[in-house]
DNA sequence: GCTAGCATGTAAACGGTTACATGATTAG
DNA sequence: CTAATCATGTAACCGTTTACATGCTAGC
């Protein structure tokens, strides 16, 4: 997901690693902090893979380390699109991962491809699964004895409802636009 | 978090690893699948740490590998309580981690300690932070240009509202019970 | 005969956390 | 003068993923 965020932000414009860190922190940092020990190795991996290029900046004044301008290459942009159009199953089911996909979904040029992702998430949320159900039949809130498990159920249902509503609305908008 | 789930489920009753896997899969498996390559090493670490004990079961019939009964030790129960009463900051801020804490929160004997966890989460959700805000002032939904970023905002707000409501209600119940 | 479920594990590769390492500039 | 911000990186450790490895029982 970190890799995706790097590709996604660099698709908007070239940036220094430091700026990238701020952008990513703004997006997901409130939930889990981003460490330099994760960011810089991730950048190096992307560079080795040929997805980004780095160019040292001419020193404006005598700063410590010279800043590197990071640019997305053509294959990098292709990789971003691939990740967005063929996401792994976990990236659909895991809420945090799905949100990261959403954040960059506009980089997919085809609205139909965008819609496919939303539909997959909607299908997942609509399917009877997880701790909402015991077997095939939905759990009744009152049947859950533990107060906190009951809370989990109440919150998960509310979240799911809000998300399904937005997904349904947006899918309708996307198909109308065609 | 896997470690916590193992401690939490074994606190209810002794179990085989296989049963543990089913329980954990029911709790969080819909979001991210649990692999054996994560479970068995985690069990071994807990055994080495003295938090669980394993006892091979007498073979009822000629099954393949002999089943191991896993039991939580006294220090294991203490460790579970410690994890629940002194969670790391990430475990409060990350939704999935917090939900795992909630699932086992009843194992904390003191309602006041339970309330402390809920309050920490409520404080986090109430504080101005993350992509809800640009700087100190809350973002207006209409100001977000990207359709999908706007969706993220809408859904995050709905989720946050539902969670804050449940937290507030439950905190009131907990203090009334005293 | 085959698939699904029961039941346990190991090993390589990968990625993230934590701590370390350095050094300049700017605002209080 | 001190803290925050700018700015980049490395190394040890730890846990997860993915793939491999084995073998029994029950139902179709």
Q: How long is the CA A169 to C1' D4 vector, in angstroms?
A: 45
- Measured between alpha carbons, how far is residue B158 from residues A125, A148, A166 in Å? 16, 20, 11
Write out chain B residues lying below 8 Å of A152, CB-based.
Answer: 99, 102-103
Instruction: Give the pair of three-digit tokens for residue A129.
Output: 């699964």
Residue A158 to residue B158, Cβ atoms within 8 A: yes
CA neighbor of A83 nearest in space, from A8, A171, A170, A26: A8
pTM exceeds 0.95 = no
Confidence of residue A64 (pLDDT cuts 50, 70, 90): low
Average pLDDT over residues A26-44: 96
Question: pLDDT value at position A20?
Answer: 97
Question: pLDDT value at position B27?
Answer: 94
Confidence of residue A127 (pLDDT cuts 50, 70, 90): confident
Question: pLDDT value at position B60?
Answer: 60
Confidence of residue A67 (pLDDT cuts 50, 70, 90): confident
The secondary element (H helix, E strand) that includes residue A161 is helix A147-177
Q: Are strands A68-72 and A15-16 parallel, antiparallel or unpaired?
A: antiparallel
The secondary element (H helix, E strand) that includes residue A111 is helix A111-126
CA neighbor of B28 nearest in space, from A102, A90, A161, A36: A90
Residue B31 to residue A146, Cβ atoms within 8 A: no
- Phi first, then psi: give them for residue A35, nearest 5 degrees: -100, 150
**Structure confidence by residue, pLDDT tens digits, B31-44:** 999 999 999 999 99
Residue B129 to residue A30, Cβ atoms within 8 A: yes
A125-161 b/e (C-beta count within 10 Å ≥ 16 → b): beeeebbeeeeeeebeeeebeeebbbbbbbbbebbbe
Write out chain A residues lying below 8 Å of B130, CB-based.
Answer: 26, 29-31
Confidence of residue B127 (pLDDT cuts 50, 70, 90): confident
Report the phi/psi class of residue B50: left, alpha or beta, with left for phi > 0 and alpha for psi in -120 to 50: left
Q: How long is the CA A101 to C1' C8 vector, in angstroms?
A: 37
- By C-alpha to C1' distance, C11 is nearest to B37
Residue A170 to residue B152, Cβ atoms within 8 A: no
CA B16 to CA B9: how far, in whole Å? 11
- Partner-chain residue, chosen from B114, B152, B162, that has the shortest CB–CB distance to A159: B162
Residues 79-118 of B with CB under 8 A from A: 90, 93-96, 99, 102-103, 105-106, 114
CA A2 to CA A46: how far, in whole Å? 11
**Structure confidence by residue, pLDDT tens digits, B49-82:** 999 999 987 666 556 678 899 999 999 999 999 9
CA A165 to CA A160: how far, in whole Å? 9
- A32 in contact with B, Cβ within 8 Å: yes
For chain B, the maximum distance between any two Cα atoms, rounded to a whole number of angstroms, is 67
Average pLDDT over residues A1-29: 96
Q: What is the mean pLDDT of chain A?
A: 92
């Amino acid at each position: 997901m970190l890799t995706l965020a790097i590709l996604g932000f660099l698709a908007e414009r070239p940036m220094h690693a430091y700026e990238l860190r701020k952008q990513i922190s703004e997006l997901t940092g409130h939930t889990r902090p981003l460490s330099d020990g994760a960011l810089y190795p991730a950048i190096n991996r992307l560079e080795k893979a040929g997805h980004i290029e780095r160019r040292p900046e001419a020193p404006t004044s005598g700063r410590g380390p010279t800043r590197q301008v990071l640019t997305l290459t053509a294959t990098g942009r292709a990789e971003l699109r691939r990740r967005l159009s063929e996401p792994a199953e976990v990236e659909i089911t895991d809420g945090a991962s799905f949100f990261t996909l959403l954040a960059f979904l506009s980089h997919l040029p085809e609205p139909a491809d965008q819609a496919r992702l939303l539909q997959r998430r909607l299908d997942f949320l609509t399917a009877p699964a997880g701790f909402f159900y015991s077997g095939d039949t939905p759990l009744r809130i009152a049947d859950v004895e533990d107060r906190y498990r009951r809370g989990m159920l109440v919150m998960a249902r509310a979240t799911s409802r809000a998300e399904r509503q937005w997904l349904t609305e947006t899918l309708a908008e996307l198909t109308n636009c065609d």
